[in-house]
Amino acid sequence: MGRMHYANWGKCAQAKVVAICDTDPDIIENSKKAGGNIEGADQAVDFDALTLYADYDKMLADKLVDAVSITLPTFLHESFSIKALEAGVHVLCEKPMALDLASCDRMIAAADKSGKVLQIGHCIRFWPEYVKAKEIIDSGEYGKVVSATFQRLGSAPTWGAEDWFAKDDRSGGVALDLHIHDSDYVQHLFGMPKGVQSFGSPASGKGLKCVVSRYAYDDDKLVTAEGSWAMSPSFGFEMSFNIVMEKATIVYDCSRSPAFRLCPVGGDALTPDVLKGDGYSLEIEHFAGLVSGQIMPEVLTLQQSADSIRLVNAEIESVQKQKEIRL
Ligand SMILES: NC(=O)c1ccc[n+]([C@@H]2O[C@H](COP(=O)([O-])OP(=O)(O)OC[C@H]3O[C@@H](n4cnc5c(N)ncnc54)[C@H](O)[C@@H]3O)[C@@H](O)[C@H]2O)c1
């Protein structure tokens, strides 16, 4: 994910990348090795013009940077974000914010105290088709939402050092690592649900292989989401949604063409215009705008990012206790 942030910072006119920090000498010294599920992540990058660090504390002490992208394993998000904020550095920290609510609260307190920006990388709130779907729903033009379902499917990540993705106390498993994108988007569209009921298939060892959740609201709309690391590796990755309103259905499936359609009742389907770029470039532009003091639209708050941790942890609890968890 560090490659993705690096590439998108390169496109951001307001910023210049000056340093990179990674403890893995293969990455930091020869800049060749990278794995992962992000397109282009395996391409070599020329780090010659950058100051390279293996020690994060030294990087902060050198005061070269105004802002940092934190793309570390999840269990390090809290401590590395707080260190940067305490050093007076703005932070764009990858999702999930942290593994539990207490960590989120400490991150929020550190951000408040520092007066610096802390933004969590909920890129789906910035993803062009997801942005457009929210606009269409909020416009009310097609009536109320009747049902909405979201999917995010792939195979288990295998590239993390010491297999950190497979360890629930490091990654939070499929629910906190992958499925949180949709839980957070559900919250973004409809607010926090009043309860959640989830079903899961256990992974070998501990944790879950996949999770399916139903989010309960005061009205009778049916909202569900599925996140999976159970697919075969040759499947690749897919994200999709169907949102049914009284007078139209919106569908998105990244593996279809056209991927995005608005299908009105009694009319032809069309593909609405969406923002240029992707969720990664747009979240970085948003963060850069906040850091440079521009007035930006409120897309996400730290409390909402923490609420997504609360929501997903309730989903995990629901699987474990085999009952609905009230929020
Ligand atoms: N928003 C998204 O769509 C998206 C996609 C993929 C990953 N992520 C998130 O990004 C984070 C990283 O995921 P990844 O796939 O890039 O993981 P990764 O394991 O590939 O990369 C983590 C990097 O951190 C480095 N590192 C570990 N400890 C360090 C330390 N103490 N100091 C400096 N560097 C250190 C490792 O050497 C490695 O290069 C996770 O939280 C993940 O959930 C988000």
Note whether 36 and 136 are same-domain residues.
no
Give the chain's mean pLDDT.
Answer: 94
Q: Residue 45's pLDDT is what? A: 76
pLDDT of 39 higher than 90: no
Model confidence over 83-111: pLDDT tens digits? 999 999 999 999 999 999 999 999 999 99
Question: Per the structure block, which two tokens stand in for 172?
Answer: 């939070």
Give the pLDDT score at 205: 62
165 and 270 part of one domain: yes
Confidence of residue 258 (pLDDT cuts 50, 70, 90): very high
Residue 85 forms part of a structural domain: yes
The whole-number pLDDT of residue 272 equals: 97
Q: Is the pLDDT reported for residue 36 higher than 70?
A: no
Domain-embedded: residue 290: no
Looking at residue 28, its pLDDT comes to: 76
* 118 and 129 within one domain: no
- Burial class from Cβ neighbours inside 10 Å (0-12, 13-18, 19+) for residue 264 reads middle
| CATH number reported for the structural domain that contains residue 159 in this entry | 3.30.360.10
Distance (angstroms) between ligand 1 centre and the Cα of 35 equals 11
Pocket test for ligand 1, best of 4, 22, 65, 68 (most atoms within 8 A of CB): 22
Q: How many other C-beta atoms can be found within 10 angstroms of the C-beta atom of residue 22?
A: 17
Specify whether 312 is located in the same domain as 173. Answer: yes
Q: Output the residue whose Cα is nearest ligand 1's atom 30.
A: 23
Ligand 1, CB cutoff 6 Å, lining residues = 1-2, 21-24, 27, 36, 56, 71-74, 76, 94-95, 121, 123, 159-161, 177
Q: Is residue 260 part of a domain?
A: yes
Are 15 and 52 in a shared domain? yes
- Split at pLDDT 50, 70, 90, the class of 180 is very high
In a domain, 26, yes or no: yes
- Confidence at residue 262, expressed as pLDDT on a 0 to 100 scale: 98
* H-only helix segments in 115-265: 128-139, 168-171, 173-174, 180-190
Residue 261 included in any domain: yes
Same domain, 316 and 215: yes
Are residues 115 and 172 part of one domain? no
**CATH number of the structural domain spanning residue 49:** 3.40.50.720
Q: With b meaning 16 or more CB within 10 Å and e meaning fewer, what string describes 44-59? A: ebebeebebbeebeeb
- Mean pLDDT of the 40-44 span: 64
* Nearest Cα to Cα of residue 76 among 169, 8, 10: 169
pLDDT tens digits, 267-298: 999 999 999 999 999 999 999 999 999 999 99
Q: Residue 283 falls within a domain, yes or no?
A: no
Mean pLDDT of 229-243: 96
Cross-strand pairs, 260: 252
Domain final residue, candidates 66, 89, 122: 122
Q: Residue range 240-249: average pLDDT?
A: 98
Q: Can you give the residue range of the structural domain that contains 100?
A: 2-122
Number of domains in the chain: 2
Residue 233 CA: distances (Å) to CA of 41, 179, 202, 304 = 17, 18, 18, 32
Residues 54 and 165 in one domain: no
